[in-house]
A and B are shown apart, each in its own frame.
Chain A
Amino acid sequence: MNFLKQLIEYINGDFAYKNYLKIFNKKNCQKTPLSKKDFLRQKEQRKWQKINRCC
């Protein structure tokens, strides 16, 4: 059950955003973190600049 929850969170991007916020808060900088929407949009953009689909 726990794995299923993790999987759904991973697929939906909630897992990535949680991690982003965790690291962002650790850095303790004054800036405002990105919204979930903006973060996921940027993540998508980064993903497709690298090889992640094979033959």
Chain B
Amino acid sequence: MLKNIHKSFSLLSWLLIAVAGGASFAGIALIRGESISSLWFIIACASFQLIAYRFYSAFIATKILVLDSNLATPAFARDDGEDFVPTNKWIVFGHHFAAIAGPGPLIGPTLAMQFGYLPGTIWILLGCVLGGAVQDMVILFMSIRRQGRSLGRMIKDEISPLAGYAALIGTLAIVIILIAVLGLVVVKALMHSPWGTFTVAMTIPIAMIIGCYLYFIRPNGVLEASIAGIALFCLAVYFGEVIHNHPTLSLIFDRSGRFLAISVIIYGFLAAVLPVWLLLAPRDYLSSFLKLGTIALLALALLIFQPDIKMPALTQFIDGSGPIFSGKIFPFLFITIACGAISGFHALVSSGTTPKIISNEQDVRLIGYGSMLLEGCVAMMAIIAAGILEPGIFFAINSPSAVLGSDPASTISSWGYVVTNQEVNLLAKQMGENTLFSRTGGAPSLAVGMASIFASAFGQGMISLWYHFAIMFEAVFILTTLDAGTRVARFMLEDFIKQVFKFKPKNNILFAIFTSFLVVSAWGYFLYIGVVDPKGGVNMLWPLFGMSNQMLAGIALAFATVAIYHKSPNKKYCLITALPLAFVVMITSWAVIMKVSSPDTSIGFLAMANSVQQNINSGLLFGQDLELAKRMIFNQKLLAFLAISFMLILWIVVFEALREIYRKNQKR
């Protein structure tokens, strides 16, 4: 009797959640008016994810992966007190979420808002529950069943060595492109912003002080040191206003993009070669706490304030003529929003530390699937934060100056989003910035949105402090990804050189400096060409990052498909990864082909190279302009080569995966 009541109550609850989700989603898709409450988005996202978690992840866990709590996980089987340590599931959840959630789910959805809120929202909701979360959960499970092996090793062992090498090169490439594009976002956010530059610059000595405290005084004082560090970060935000208002000091911190790019490159090099305890580790502690705290605070503020979304559901830029990046929804939405929907990089984390510390196989569902759902929520918060801005303001901040021309307000108003120069300048003044026109990269508009939400929920008087807090928050964990990525890429390159060339360095320090230099030069080059690009660099580098991330997702899903196909008695079950794989392969290949061969110069790398070549042939360019044009042709061809390489790497792995399935079938 009691069981029946419980069952009926459960059914009714899920029915209510489904109705609430369906109604909210219909509202988001169908309401066409001045504005729409963000509450619709919150309810739709929560209901959709709850249902997916309760039913779809349960289906994967019980029917496909057949999770078994009686099997010893690597944490128990190989418990070595160092890498393999059984850990509380909620701590592993926090650890895994802090590792996967970087700046990607905040920046990508912000940029994709040029299409309106609807395409991004649908892709985040569907992509996350059917693609990203499935990938993370399956790879985590496969790694646990293989003693915590990495994705590259599993591919090498179970698909082929060729596929393993392709995955290794793909991983190195994505790290390089990721760092370049994140560096670009930071540079664009701090350009000619004395307040922001001062605050972010101060985080470096603060992290070093914390590092020294932890190294020399109290190695297990992470908690108190992190609280003190975050308090010092907030003080740096506060004193940034003094710098901004000071006539001389503001000039010291008012820096051009080139200066900041070179500073970021030098910083990246130092962070890779300095001992980890001095800069990288303390910065990571601070950024992890700041990241989790700010995301929680933003969610709370959204629930209190429930702001209205002013961006329309769809804009005219779905035709591909967008000012932020060029190209139609298909395929460009799906490579602009990678993190938050499906991100291949997560597969590296899911086959890294996490499988080595999980104590119960059943927790794979919560940690693998659940963490990705939470990242989807972060991406939805970014959609809301960008959507609450007036569309005219959003495009004023995110459109490059080359598109806006000499009268930015008139250009934006001609698109149908009325805005005046005075409005934008007043907003810049309120935020404590010199200007907000053409502050591309996504971070400034996200910071304006976050500041508006925080100020509405917790007090309007501090909006400029909230803006710079948001900029500091974004920059701090972008720089942490930059530090960590450079260091990891250095180790990957060292291993690669040692293995391929059978090289044994006589001097390890010199070898580390040499490989760090190579890695920093690689991403530094792309960062620099992004910064000096008249169109702001985002149009050039973000799609490349998206394509590389989806390439890695394709590689991970190809392995997952092979593994499920071999393991599961019902071969149809491999469709749960094969269908997202087919979508990712199609979308990535389509995007690569468009980016390389489109005749439109704002999309196609080669079309742009040809156009510049025609300018050179016409004999109108001389001296420095001629040199710049030649360099631009080289850069466009380099980007085209990289994009094609990503597609080839993906195809090699998919082909090898299919061959492996065929080979095993022949043996049976």
Which A residues form the contact surface with B (CB < 8 A)?
A: 3, 6-8, 10-17, 19-24, 36-37, 40-41, 43-55
Instruction: Tell whether, in the assembled complex, residue A50 and residue B276 are in contact, meaning their CB atoms are under 8 Å apart.
Output: no
Nearest B-chain residue to A55, judged by Cβ: B104
Give Cα distance in the complex from A15 to B220, angstroms.
Answer: 10
Evaluate whether A54 and B349 lie within 8 angstroms (CB atoms) in the complex, with A3-B90, A43-B82, A49-B491 already known.
Answer: yes
Cβ-based interface call for B505 (8 A): no
9-residue interface stretch from B1-9, B95-103, B233-241: B95-103
- Whether A54 pairs with B81 at a CB distance below 8 angstroms is no
* Extra 13 A-B pairs, beta carbons < 8 Å, given A40-B220, A55-B104, A55-B345: A3-B88, A8-B223, A14-B220, A19-B85, A21-B81, A41-B215, A47-B353, A51-B175, A53-B481, A55-B102, A55-B339, A55-B481, A55-B549
A48 engages B276 (CB within 8 Å): yes
> What would 28 A/B residue contacts be, using CB atoms closer than 8 Å?
A6-B88, A8-B223, A10-B88, A11-B222, A11-B223, A12-B223, A13-B222, A14-B220, A19-B81, A19-B85, A20-B82, A41-B215, A44-B281, A46-B82, A47-B353, A48-B276, A48-B487, A48-B488, A49-B487, A50-B488, A51-B349, A54-B99, A54-B101, A54-B343, A54-B348, A54-B481, A55-B178, A55-B481
B81 and A22 contacting across the interface, CB-CB below 8 Å: yes
Assembled-state Cα–Cα distance A1/B613 (Å): 68
Taking a contact as CB atoms under 8 Å apart, the answer to whether A52 and B81 are in contact is no
What are the residues of chain B within 8 A of A20 when measuring CB–CB?
Answer: 81-82
Asked if A12 and B222 sit within 8 Å, CB to CB, the answer is yes
Using Cβ atoms and an 8 Å threshold, which residues of chain B touch A36? 219-220
Chain B residues touching A, range? 35 or more
Known pairs A40-B220, A44-B277; A55 contacts B487 (CB<8 A): no
**Interfacial chain B residues near A48, Cβ < 8 Å:** 276, 280-281, 484, 487-488
Name B's interface SS: helix
Determine which of B85, B91, B104, B182 lies in contact with A7 in the assembled complex, contact meaning CB atoms within 8 Å. Answer: B91
- Give B335-357 interface residues, CB cut-off 8 Å to A: 338-339, 343, 345-346, 348-349, 352-353
Taken together as a complex, chains A and B put the C-alpha atoms of A12 and B348 apart, in Å, by 26
Q: Looking across the interface, which residue of chain B has its beta carbon closest to that of A49?
A: B491
Bound CA–CA A40/B353 (angstroms): 17
Residue of B nearest to A51 (CB): B348
Nearest 5 A-B pairs (CB), nearest first? Answer: A23-B81, A55-B104, A20-B81, A53-B484, A12-B220
Which residues of B172-211 have CB atoms within 8 Å of chain A's CB atoms? 175, 178, 182
Given contacts A55-B102, A55-B343, contact A41 B352 (CB under 8 A): no
Contacts of A46 in B (CB 8 A): 82-83
Interface presence of B79 (CB below 8 A):
yes
Say whether B219 contacts A10, CB under 8 Å.
Answer: no
**CA distance in complex: A55, B343 (Å):** 8
**B276: contacting residue among A7, A10, A37, A45, CB under 8 A:** A45
Let me know if B81 and A40 touch, CB within 8 A: no
B residues 460-493 touching A (CB-CB < 8 Å): 480-481, 484-485, 487-488, 491
Q: Which of B87, B215, B220, B346 counts the most A-chain CB atoms under 10 A from its CB? A: B220
CB-CB under 8 A from B254, the residues of chain A are none
Residues in A with CB closer than 8 Å to B534 are none
Q: Mark out the residues of chain B between 530 and 556 whose CB falls within 8 Å of any chain A CB in the assembled complex.
A: 545, 549
| Residues of chain A with a CB closer than 8 A to B353's CB | 47, 50, 52
Interface check B158, CB cutoff 8 A: no
Which residue of the partner chain A has the closest CB to B221? A12
In the complex, are the beta carbons of B346 and A54 less than 8 A apart?
yes
CB of A53 within 8 A of CB of B480, answer yes
A residues near B101, Cβ cutoff 8 Å: 54
Q: Does B157 contact A (CB under 8 A)?
A: no
In the complex, the answer to whether A52 meets B484 with C-beta atoms within 8 Å is yes
B284 at the interface (CB under 8 A from A): yes
Inter-chain contact B480/A6, CB cutoff 8 Å: no
Tell me, in angstroms, the Cα distance from A53 to B276 when the chains sit together: 14
Q: Interface 1/0s, chain B 238-254, versus A by CB < 8 A?
A: 00000000000000000
Residue from B100, B276, B338 having most chain A Cβ neighbours under 10 A: B276
Shortest C-beta distance, A37 to chain B (Å), equals 5
Out of A19, A45, A49, A52, name the residue touching B349 (CB < 8 Å).
A52
Given contacts A12-B220, A36-B219, A54-B346, contact A6 B91 (CB under 8 A): yes
Q: Which residues of A contact B488 (CB under 8 A)?
A: 48-51
Would you call B423 an interface residue if the criterion is a C-beta within 8 Å of the partner chain's C-beta atoms? no
Complex: A36 Cα to B83 Cα, angstroms: 16
What's the minimum C-beta distance from A47 to chain B, rounded to whole angstroms?
Answer: 8
* Nearest-Cβ distance from residue A25 to partner chain B, whole angstroms: 10
A7 to chain B, nearest CB (A): 6
B68 at the interface (CB under 8 A from A): no
Is B319 an interface residue, CB under 8 A from the partner?
Answer: no
**A53 proximity list for chain B (CB < 8 A):** 99, 102, 284, 480-481, 484-485
B219 touches which of A8, A22, A41, A45 (Cβ 8 Å):
A41
Nearest A residue to B88, CB-CB = A6
Most buried by B among A8, A17, A49, A55: A55
What's the nearest-Cβ distance from chain B to residue A42, in Å?
8
Residue numbers in B under 8 Å from A54 (CB-CB): 99-102, 104, 339, 343, 345-346, 348-349, 481
Taken together as a complex, chains A and B put the C-alpha atoms of A23 and B82 apart, in Å, by 9
How far, in Å, is B568 (CB) from chain A's closest CB? 28
B127 to chain A, nearest CB (A): 15
Complex CA gap A13/B226 in Å reads 14
Determine if B627 is an interface residue (Cβ-Cβ < 8 Å). no
Name the A residues within 8 Å of B284 (CB-CB): 53
Closest A residue to B81 by CB, please name it.
A23
Q: Which residues of B contact A11 (CB under 8 A)?
A: 222-223, 226
- Distance (Å) between the CB of B335 and the closest chain A CB? 13
The reply to whether the CB of B625 lies closer than 8 angstroms to some CB of chain A is no
Query: Which residues of the partner chain B approach A37 to less than 8 Å between Cβ atoms?
Result: 219
Complex alpha-carbon distance, A37 and B217, angstroms: 10
Taking a contact as CB atoms under 8 Å apart, the answer to whether B79 and A23 are in contact is yes
Give per-residue flags for B64-105: 1 if the beta carbon is below 8 A from chain A beta carbons, else 0. 000000000000000111110101101100000001111110
**B132, chain A: closest CB distance, angstroms:** 12
Chain A residues within an 8 Å CB radius of B352: 50-52
Contacts of A19 in B (CB 8 A): 79, 81, 85
| Bound-state Cα–Cα, A52 to B160, Å | 25
Please, which residues of chain B bring their CB within 8 A of the CB of A40?
Answer: 219-220
Chain A residues whose CB sits within 8 angstroms of the CB of B81 once the complex forms:
16, 19-24
- Which residues of B have CB within 8 Å of A55? 102-104, 178, 182, 338-339, 343, 345, 481, 545, 549
